[in-house]
Amino acid sequence: MTDKYCVIGHPVAHSKSPEIHAAYAAQTGQDIRYERCLAPLDGFAETVQRLVAEGYRGANVTVPFKLEAARLATRLNERARAAGAVNTLVFAHGEIVGDNTDGPGLMADITRNAGVPIRGRRVLLLGAGGAARGALLPFVQEAPREIVIANRTVPTAEALVHDFAQVAGRHGVRLGAAGFDTVDGSFDIVVNATSSSLAGDLPPVPPGIFGPGALALDMMYGNQPTVFMDFAARHGAAVRDGLGMLVEQAAEAFAIWRGVRPDTAQVLRAMRP
């Protein structure tokens, strides 16, 4: 029998997830159906309960429901608890289990697809919202030398440093907070976890943040490079958008659901315009 999955969002028509998961299913011989599911802004919980009742095995969750998904889940794993947000749900044995594969997807894109090691490096994370929070634990677990969180409001970044100080200490990672315009020094990896690219804006960071051979990655993606990517490229950085992260986080979710990990390289090549 075909197992059913979907991505829940509002809006959701733009989502590339059905194409990605269809490719993974064909590659691995898994019998699944994966759809887009538009949930009313005030009806996320009801939508999930309907999917459970209809026999769905799981779902991905996209904006604006990731925080609500964390509250709805009957159980959260470690990275979902750390992120405070859920992008992957598993429906099994009467439970709704919440996971977050965004951070692992980002790590895989940086280390495997871009070929950039994180261990011992200096990392700058722009933004202190949900996307940054979701990336922080996986980043710490890769054991960079230092992670600086830069944000427009410094106390928000400082709160994030406080929340992750203990786990960072266990991994020997130094955490720091700064404002966009007070970032000190250069970095090996710079990740734009803000939503500024959606509006064509740029976090007001100094151009000196990009060290020699730096990688600059924007979590947003589109047919053209983002403003942040253009800025980084002008100042000597290698640049990536968030498409690789999307493909990799989908592979992590697929592995959770199906117990088999697909090959992401061929799917990422096919997804590139």
User: Same domain for 118 and 88?
Assistant: no
User: Same domain for 94 and 151?
Assistant: no
pLDDT digits (tens, 9 = 90+) for 233-261: 999 999 999 999 999 999 999 999 999 99
Annotated binding-site ranges for NADP(+): 78, 127-131, 219, 242
- Would you state the pLDDT for residue 131? 87
Residue 175 dihedral angles phi and psi, to the nearest 5°: -110, 140
Residue 189 CA to residue 147 CA, distance in Å, equals: 10
Which segment of 21-30, 86-95, 109-118, 198-207 scores lowest on mean pLDDT? 198-207
What is the average per-residue pLDDT within 47-56? 98
pLDDT band at 150 (very low <50, low <70, confident <90, very high): very high
**Residue 63 scores a pLDDT above 90:** no
What is the average per-residue pLDDT within 164-171? 96
Tell me whether strands 146-151 and 122-126 are parallel, antiparallel or unpaired: parallel
User: Same domain for 141 and 230?
Assistant: yes
Residue 246 CA to residue 248 CA, distance in Å, equals: 6
pLDDT digits (tens, 9 = 90+) for 124-136: 999 998 889 999 9
Residue 127 CA to residue 137 CA, distance in Å, equals: 15
Mean pLDDT for the chain overall = 95
- Would you state the pLDDT for residue 199? 81
User: Same domain for 91 and 109?
Assistant: no
User: Same domain for 116 and 148?
Assistant: yes
Q: How many domains does the chain have?
A: 2
User: Which of 123, 97, 13 is CA-nearest to residue 87?
Assistant: 97
Residue 19 dihedral angles phi and psi, to the nearest 5°: -65, -40
User: Same domain for 170 and 251?
Assistant: no
pLDDT digits (tens, 9 = 90+) for 207-216: 999 999 999 9
- Would you state the pLDDT for residue 107? 98
66 has catalytic annotation: yes
Token representation of residue 212: 């020699």
User: Which of 208, 156, 211 is CA-nearest to residue 178?
Assistant: 156
- Would you state the pLDDT for residue 51? 98
What is the average per-residue pLDDT within 50-72? 95
Annotated binding-site ranges: 15-17, 62, 78, 87, 102, 127-131, 219, 221, 242, 249
Q: What does each C-alpha distance from 18 to 7, 43, 134, 158, 194 come to in angstroms?
A: 8, 22, 23, 38, 25
User: Same domain for 46 and 109?
Assistant: no
Domain that holds residue 76: 3-100+245-271
User: Same domain for 140 and 227?
Assistant: yes
CATH number at residue 34: 3.40.50.10860
Catalytic residue among 23, 51, 56, 66: 66
User: Which of 261, 192, 258, 252 is CA-nearest to residue 227?
Assistant: 192
User: Same domain for 196 and 226?
Assistant: yes
User: Same domain for 17 and 90?
Assistant: yes
Amino acid (1-letter code) at residue 24? Y
**Residue 56 scores a pLDDT above 90:** yes
- Determine what percent of the chain is predicted with pLDDT higher than 70: 100
* CA of residue 82 relative to chain centroid, distance: 13
Residue 23 CA to residue 231 CA, distance in Å, equals: 33
**Residue 35 scores a pLDDT above 90:** yes
Residue 87 CA to residue 181 CA, distance in Å, equals: 31
Angle at which helix 17-28 crosses helix 243-258, to 10 degrees, equals 50
Annotated binding-site ranges for shikimate: 15-17, 62, 87, 102, 221, 249
More confident residue, 111 or 200: 111
Residue 74 CA to residue 229 CA, distance in Å, equals: 39
Q: Tell the residue number behind the tokens 């060290």, with chain if given.
A: 211
CATH number at residue 152: 3.40.50.720
**Residue 201 scores a pLDDT above 90:** no
User: Same domain for 11 and 61?
Assistant: yes
User: Same domain for 36 and 148?
Assistant: no
**Residue 273 scores a pLDDT above 80:** no
